[in-house]
Amino acid sequence: MTTESDTLVHPLAKYMRTDRLPWIYCPGCSIGIVTGMVARAIENLGIDFNKVVIVSGIGCTGRVSGYFKTGTFHTTHGRPIAFAEGVKIANPELEVIVVSGDGDIAAIGGNHLIHACRRNIDITVVCLNNFNYGMTGGQFGPTTEHERYTQTSPRPIGNIEWPFNLVKLAASSGATFVARWTAVQVRRATKSIEKAIAKRGFSFVEIVGACPTSYGRSNRLGDGVEMHRHLLKVADIQNGLPPHEAELEYDSRIVCGEFVDIDKPEYTEVLKKAQEKARSEAR
Amino acid sequence: MPERVMFTMGDVACAEGALSAGCRYFGGYPITPATEIAEWMAIRMPQVGGAYVQYEDEIASITSVIGASWAGTKAMTATSGPGVSLMMEAIGLAVMTETPLVLVNIMRGGPSTGQPTRGQQGDVMQAKWGSHGDYQIIALTPASVQEMFDQTVRAFNLAEQYRVPVFVLADETVGHMREKLVIPDEKDLEIVDRKRPTVPPEEYLPFKPDEDLVPPMATFGSGYQFYATGLTHDWRGYPSDKDDVQMELITRLNEKILRNVDKIVEMERFQLDDADVAIIAYGTPSRSAKRAIREARRQGLKAGLLRLKTIWPFPERAIMDLASEVRHIVVAEQNMGQLYHMVRASAGTTPVHMMRKPVGTPQLPQEILQKIREVVTQ
Ligand SMILES: Cc1ncc(C[n+]2csc(CCOP(=O)(O)OP(=O)(O)O)c2C)c(N)n1
Ligand code: SF4
Ligand SMILES: [Mg+2]
């Protein structure tokens, strides 16, 4: 006999630790949407979920790994990419996906990001850029725009620093797949995450999202719905644009699309060849 | 592989010990005086189908080692003081997630950049207390090239058995000295592997301990799902801010080591049976101490040595027993006196004398002999 609750189970619930719901996120936050994108990408690819490893650092976005029902790990702040590299090199059969925030990936973990790009190791990084450190209450970070207000760049002056453009950073560091979407472009973003996972090389997908509780409130950007409406309005789809032209200006234009999709020798494959060579010479 | 004999340096013996123990992942960043471990691994790892990975810093190195361990591979890093300082946060993560790994610290002069090419033993307290919070690790202190091999094998075995980071703390002199090394036939080596879950995946609780307080460890891709986090977590691995969950977890992480001190601790008793004066030393100073004791005996002074091969967990019981056997204890360390304080806390009313030497040259035999003479005439 099927009960009402059986028939109402979400099709992606099989990937989630439903016993941990409701999750910790605020109403109107983009993190739930991004979690859904990653789950759907895995579903669409039809890969063995047992072979998927999801890793996060620390932050609101850093909690994503804990909701997935596979091998998951919550590292220290900024280190999910380094952890993921160890996993992938030790067992290249695994599909390793990092989901974390802009602060985690580009501030404290920025060095690991650029070097993993350079190594071209086959992992996928999904970075939710909400322009601030959500978890610690909304301080400015490496993607906060100039003169924006946060808890540590207060009125009347705002942020005296300038932001990274994560697409340009990943592309110039050597990533073989680079895309950016906003949290409202769910279908397109999911497709890019699928391509990123399937890619044999380092992939970076930035999802521009909303943190209504901190960044939204500090800058009077409205509630979650309003912020997501705005993202839809300013998203400018420019697939194939050279990455150095992928501008991001929150108020007026967020260039979205896939900007890099190239082939280069992948780290674990090169390592495998090195092992074969070393073994034959040692014999 | 059958038995092999080499004339080589401590750092190389350490790398060979790791390979013999089954280590197939090395993540590191070059630093004097541990570079020879990395360089040897860069040659040897590919030959055995393993990975030598050179990271952008020590933080990435050790974090990747934690990742490799959870992917089911025995993994290590090797560094020196400045690198260990950078690794401290991740050591806490490894403790909290009960990750088996080996961290080799070839100790040089500190603080800061200090004296890169000169040995010291200034990091022994850091190894125990460096990361925040209350926790236990295991630390071994080899004193010869052969022991660099043997203790590195043992470090992996202990890491796997107790699911804890294990330090090999060797001073630079031990890392760089050259001696004979015998690498035993692999079938003569005792190798320990972590416990794997035996229950079906649906029933697996990743942090539910067995009777020995150590939970069986699933690895990525094994069909078992788990969430491991540096946050305080319950048996399911789920984060919790409850007092009872924190209490149970922290108690267990400490107790799984402290309850087994007698099994973990190893030491060498040298001419102690009738001794009036006991030297306590580890690493290079213990070699000077042996020479000094032989000479002291020739001069009719009853001296002996307790050489610590394990310093963490601290062998309190052994020190208490020793204190009841001898009239004086001298602690000779190549630092300002670190384990000295641990010894004093365990020695009751027996006088404990500090022999500090925070420089590259260890206590020389004649200096130790002089100290023995000084304390017996007190
Ligand atoms: C070593 C260390 N420094 C600082 C913190 C405090 N901290 C926790 S989360 C965070 C920022 C997270 O920002 P982001 O990665 O953008 O994630 P979000 O919360 O915005 O999703 C900081 C600074 C920490 N946990 N560890
Ligand atoms: S603080 Fe911001 S990022 Fe964190 S859950 Fe709330 S809305 Fe999302
Ligand atoms: Mg953020």
CATH classification at residue B337 = 3.40.50.920
> A114 to chain B: nearest residue by CA?
B56
**B33: in domain:** yes
CA distances from A89 to A96, A267, B211 (A): 10, 8, 34
Strand, coil or helix: B310: strand
> B131 near B88, Cβ under 8 Å?
yes
Is the Cα dihedral B185, B187, B192, B198 positive or negative? positive
pLDDT at residue A2, rounded to an integer: 53
To 10 degrees, the CA torsion angle through A250, A253, A258, A263? -80
> B129 near B84, Cβ under 8 Å?
no
- Asked if B73 is an interface residue toward chain A (Cβ–Cβ < 8 A), one would say yes
Contact B71 A86 (CB under 8 A): yes
Tens digits of residue pLDDT in A215-254: 999 999 999 999 999 999 999 999 999 999 999 999 999 9
A167 CB-near residues (< 8 Å, 6+ apart): A178, A179, A180, A204, A206, A243, A246, A248, A259
> A117 near A202, Cβ under 8 Å?
yes
pLDDT at residue B246, rounded to an integer: 98
**Residue in A94, A271, A274 nearest the CB of B71:** A94
Nearest in space to A64 (alpha carbons), one of A94, A95, A27, A38? A38
**B279: in domain:** yes
> What are the tokens at A98?
């990092």
Is the Cα dihedral A279, B2, B7, B12 positive or negative? positive
**B56: in domain:** yes
Q: How far apart (Å, rounded) are the C-alpha atoms in residues A259 and A176?
A: 10
B302 CB-near residues (< 8 Å, 6+ apart): B274, B275, B276, B277, B296
Residue of A42, A63, A65, A73 to mutate for B, most B C-beta atoms under 10 A: A73
Do residue B62 and residue B178 come from a single domain? Answer: yes
Phi, psi torsion values for B344, nearest 5 degrees = -60, -35
Contact A76 B90 (CB under 8 A): yes
Contact B53 A69 (CB under 8 A): no
B66: CA distance to ligand 2 center in Å? 28
Q: Is the CB of A75 under 6 A from ligand 1?
A: no
- Residue nearest ligand 2's atom 6 by CA: A26
CA distances from A133 to A22, A87, A105, A141, A230 (A): 22, 27, 11, 6, 20
pLDDT at residue A4, rounded to an integer: 55
pLDDT at residue B378, rounded to an integer: 80
Tens digits of residue pLDDT in A142-194: 999 999 999 999 999 999 999 999 999 999 999 999 999 999 999 999 999 99
Most ligand 1 atoms within 8 A of CB, residue of A64, A77, A99, A206 to mutate: A77
> A177 near A121, Cβ under 8 Å?
no
Do residue B182 and residue B281 come from a single domain? Answer: no
Q: Is the CB of A213 under 6 A from ligand 1?
A: no
> What are the tokens at B56?
């952008």
Chain B positions in Cβ-Cβ contact with residue A135 (cut-off 8 Å): none
**Residue in A71, A83, A274 nearest the CB of B63:** A83
Q: How far apart (Å, rounded) are the C-alpha atoms in residues A180 and A178?
A: 7
Residue of A15, A81, A89 to mutate for B, most B C-beta atoms under 10 A: A89
Do residue B183 and residue B274 come from a single domain? Answer: no
**B274: in domain:** yes
**Mean pLDDT of all residues in A134-138:** 98
CATH number assigned to the domain covering A16-282? 3.40.50.970
Contact A90 B71 (CB under 8 A): yes
Neighbours of B300 (CB within 10 A): 7
Mean pLDDT computed over every residue of chain A: 96
Do residue B310 and residue B171 come from a single domain? Answer: no
Q: Which residues of A touch B (CB under 8 A)?
A: 17, 20, 50-51, 53, 55, 65-66, 69-76, 79, 82-91, 93-94, 111-112, 115, 271, 274-275, 277-279, 282
Range of the domain at B35: 4-188
CA distances from B209 to A116, B163, B205, B252, B344 (A): 36, 11, 9, 9, 35
Residue of B66, B220, B225 to mutate for A, most A C-beta atoms under 10 A: B220
pLDDT at residue B191, rounded to an integer: 98
- Say if residue A282's pLDDT is above 90: no
Do residue B144 and residue B277 come from a single domain? Answer: no
Q: How far apart (Å, rounded) are the C-alpha atoms in residues B86 and B163?
A: 22
Q: Is the CB of A103 under 6 A from ligand 1?
A: yes
**B253: in domain:** no
Q: How far apart (Å, rounded) are the C-alpha atoms in residues B47 and A282?
A: 7
Domain end (from B164, B188, B212): B188
pLDDT at residue A8, rounded to an integer: 84
**B232: in domain:** no
State how far Cα B327 lies from the chain centre.
Answer: 30
Which DSSP letter does residue A150 get? B
Do residue B156 and residue B22 come from a single domain? Answer: yes
Cβ < 6 A, ligand 2 pocket: A 25-26, 29, 31, 60, 130, 134-135, 211-214
**B170: in domain:** yes
Residue showing tokens 């200096």: B367
**B249: in domain:** no
A9: exposed, middle or buried (Cβ count in 10 Å: 0-12, 13-18, 19+): exposed
Domain end (from B188, B211, B241): B188
**Residue in B27, B63, B227 nearest the CB of A72:** B227
Domain end (from B132, B159, B188): B188
- Asked if B66 is an interface residue toward chain A (Cβ–Cβ < 8 A), one would say yes
Chain A positions in Cβ-Cβ contact with residue B131 (cut-off 8 Å): none
Phi, psi torsion values for B359, nearest 5 degrees = -135, 175
**Residue in A86, A93, A111 nearest the CB of B68:** A86
pTM given for the model: 0.98
Do residue B23 and residue B140 come from a single domain? Answer: yes
Contact B51 A74 (CB under 8 A): no
Q: Across chain A, where does the E strand assignment appear?
A: 52-56, 71-74, 95-101, 124-129, 177-182, 203-208, 235-237, 248-249, 253-261
CA angle A187–A188–A189, rounded 5-degree value: 95
Chain A positions in Cβ-Cβ contact with residue B70 (cut-off 8 Å): 71, 73, 87
Do residue B138 and residue B275 come from a single domain? Answer: no
Packing angle, helices B58-70 and A80-90, rounded to 10: 50
Do residue B161 and residue B290 come from a single domain? Answer: no
- Residue nearest ligand 2's atom 7 by CA: A211
Q: What is the CATH number of the domain that holds B103?
A: 3.40.50.970
pLDDT at residue B304, rounded to an integer: 98
Q: Report the domain count for chain B.
A: 2
**Residue in A51, A85, A279 nearest the CB of B64:** A85
Contact B73 A90 (CB under 8 A): yes
Nearest in space to B87 (alpha carbons), one of A82, A116, A141, A120? A82
> B159 near B143, Cβ under 8 Å?
no
Q: Is the CB of A77 under 6 A from ligand 1?
A: yes
Q: What percent of chain A has pLDDT over 90?
A: 95
Contact B60 A82 (CB under 8 A): yes
Local confidence pLDDT in tens for the 378 residues of chain B = 899 999 999 999 999 999 999 999 999 999 999 999 999 999 999 999 999 999 999 999 999 999 999 999 999 999 999 999 999 999 999 999 999 999 999 999 999 999 999 999 999 999 999 999 999 999 999 999 999 999 999 999 999 999 999 999 999 999 999 999 999 999 999 999 999 999 999 999 999 999 999 999 999 999 999 999 999 999 999 999 999 999 999 999 999 999 999 999 999 999 999 999 999 999 999 999 999 999 999 999 999 999 999 999 999 999 999 999 999 999 999 999 999 999 999 999 999 999 999 999 999 999 999 999 999 988
Do residue B171 and residue B301 come from a single domain? Answer: no
> How far B39 CA sits from the closest chain A CA (Å)?
15
Do residue B176 and residue B306 come from a single domain? Answer: no
Q: How far apart (Å, rounded) are the C-alpha atoms in residues B117 and A214?
A: 50
Do residue B49 and residue B184 come from a single domain? Answer: yes
Q: How far apart (Å, rounded) are the C-alpha atoms in residues A132 and A108?
A: 13
